[in-house]
Structure 1
């Protein structure tokens, strides 16, 4: 196994780091306070070619892989954005780029991928439902046949960046449960305009990730045209898994970066802050050990994530690795941000010192986009061969 970066990967990570540093901690603190969308940095990311890392060259992308995308996201997010910035890569290079590049028609690729790369098109994905949650197969949103297209009715919840999106990837049933032999059948993916009759959305007030809105989305007889089907009619569940597992890789990269940033802020403070015998608090093991443990966890998560990304790029199964990496990264970011606050003491609770934002934002990713409990279920069933427990 080769851990060396190529010259191209090194240059890519350096470019990402420079873009991230241009929009540093104060930029993100201001956006968080105003609950403002990070439009400026996203445009810069697109202009630097980072949005199109994994998009084929013929559509304006770099034609690289998930490994390079993970490296770029780590460098970007560690410069100040933390895990929230990685959500923008979920929405665009994954929900848009991976979906269209892998399953879209040639016409869809020609129309949408160049705009995605340039930052002219923004994407969201409508999957989670109020009564289904992680149990995707219990979704009730239904697309009934209507002439040569469909009409969608239903509700989704916790959908990211809907007000900013131009397109939304909608996951819906296209066959009723009584019409199929397996629950995984009869599911389809549609990529439709957000601005469409019958589609409405309402913001959810939340504790963190304030720069990216989360919404409930309502579909009332929303018309879907034939060319807006992505992938296989009634066979979209398997295709959806590819989207969701690459989403895990992107999530993990952001969480690794969050842990790295939180540890750096804590270490910088611990070197300077002196108490009692005028020694820096970083000389005490009670400060050192939790930060060292978080460092160990983040490095393990990074390695597992790069393994998952490499397997994806090689066309090999990568679901277990992507889930394990996300599990490790959630714990690493949780520990790092919590202990960073503890290291800073009262100042850790002050917005001036940034770690409270990292802590609030990172907490989401122990339950989303897949909960720790569901990851443990997955590993128990698919890696240990134990009976399905849910």
Structure 2
């Protein structure tokens, strides 16, 4: 059993880190203060070829697995950019997976190279205000017309909608009450974000101001048939292809933010002197930080196990969900402890940890709630009756 990275994976880690080191705390502080998308960082990652880590080689990608994507995203989130850095790239790592698996050769050739090069930027239109995590209850409807579909509906928490020119959109083509099963009648499209037919309203939120989240109002948007991914009505199963990778990536991002905060707290504890001694000499400071380190390392092991299973085509639902639960909690606790270690200065923007705490919160809330994770594990692993 080998817990180390391969030489190739270490090269990935170092290559991504070299780019991240060019964007320091001041850069991310300015992006946050100005609610400005980190375009310079996004372009640098695209130029380095990192946006295509999981994309097919024949379309300009590296053709690697979720393990390598996790290493990329962990490194990105570890260097001060937090969820702002991670979210600017996140959808490239898992969002287009339905295209990779179910797209036609023509669609892949048309869409994937532009995503890899950073020429197109996509947002993910799945969640709806009245459906939440109950994806089968979405009501955004795609009505067949000559040459394609007319789509009307609403989406919420659509990240990067302010800067995207493409949208991966989940719709119903058969209403839920008319479908044989709730999971049938759902269709995926990847199409232009036509702002003459789509209104994108930014949602003010507690953290990650640099990467926008939005309400999206779609009013009779025409989507040509060639922009449908896979078969009509089979979209729910296509969406499942990206769920476990997304959980793994969110887990490692939460872990990385926690590790960044822990490093900052440990450094502050060594340097801050009170009553004639560094505060890190006090066990009341040492022990909570040590516990955070242990929890982060344990969560990392679970995330890597889930990625390893996924890349080998083996079931990993329980492990991916557990990684998301453990990674989000460990990252949050580490960020909270970092703020507390800094004392009053932890509340100041100068020391960054307050931003990391605000940004890591999202890894506990999305893409699935902790309660649904626990229900899934109770049902699928422990054999308990379904509770929802």
| Structure 1 segment 16-165 matched on structure 2, within 5 A | 16-96=16-96, 98-165=97-164
Contact 2:194 2:221 in 1 (8 A): no
1:231 counterpart residue number: 230
CA distance in 2, matches of 1:215, 1:76: 23
CA distance in 2, matches of 1:309, 1:106: 27
CA distance in 1, matches of 2:102, 2:289: 42
1:268 counterpart residue number: 267
1:279 counterpart residue number: 277
Contact 1:196 1:222 in 2 (8 A): no
Contact 2:122 2:168 in 1 (8 A): yes
Deviation digits for residues 288-344 of structure 1, max 9, x if unmatched? 122112111111111111111112211222222111101001101110110000000
Q: CA deviation at 1:84?
A: 2.8
> Of residues 307, 312, 315 in structure 1, which corresponds to 2:313?
315
Matched, 1:294 2:292: yes
CA distance in 2, matches of 1:178, 1:252: 35
Range 153-162 or range 227-236, more displaced: 227-236
| Structure 1 segment 146-295 matched on structure 2, within 5 A | 146-276=145-275, 278-295=276-293
CA distance in 2, matches of 1:111, 1:177: 32
CA distance in 1, matches of 2:145, 2:195: 16
Secondary structure of the 2:33 match is helix
Q: CA deviation at 1:30?
A: 1.2
- How many pairs are equivalent? 388
CA distance in 1, matches of 2:212, 2:161: 7
Cα RMSD after superposing both structures: 1.3
The runs of 5 or more residues in structure 2 that have no matched partner are none
Contact 2:137 2:176 in 1 (8 A): no
Secondary structure of the 2:142 match is strand
Secondary structure of the 1:22 match is coil
Secondary structure of the 1:222 match is strand
Deviation digits for residues 238-276 of structure 1, max 9, x if unmatched? 110122221112211211110110000000000000112
Secondary structure of the 2:315 match is coil
CA distance in 2, matches of 1:385, 1:88: 38
Q: CA deviation at 1:33?
A: 0.8
CA distance in 2, matches of 1:244, 1:205: 26
Range 201-210 or range 231-240, more displaced: 231-240
Secondary structure of the 2:158 match is strand
Q: CA deviation at 1:37?
A: 0.3
Q: CA deviation at 1:181?
A: 2.1
CA distance in 1, matches of 2:91, 2:328: 19
Contact 1:249 1:322 in 2 (8 A): yes
Q: CA deviation at 1:93?
A: 2.5
Q: CA deviation at 1:196?
A: 4.9
1:356 counterpart residue number: 354
Contact 1:55 1:113 in 2 (8 A): yes
CA distance in 1, matches of 2:165, 2:368: 25
CA distance in 2, matches of 1:88, 1:187: 27
Q: Which runs of 4+ in 1 moved over 4 A?
A: none
| TM-score (norm. length: structure 2) | 0.97
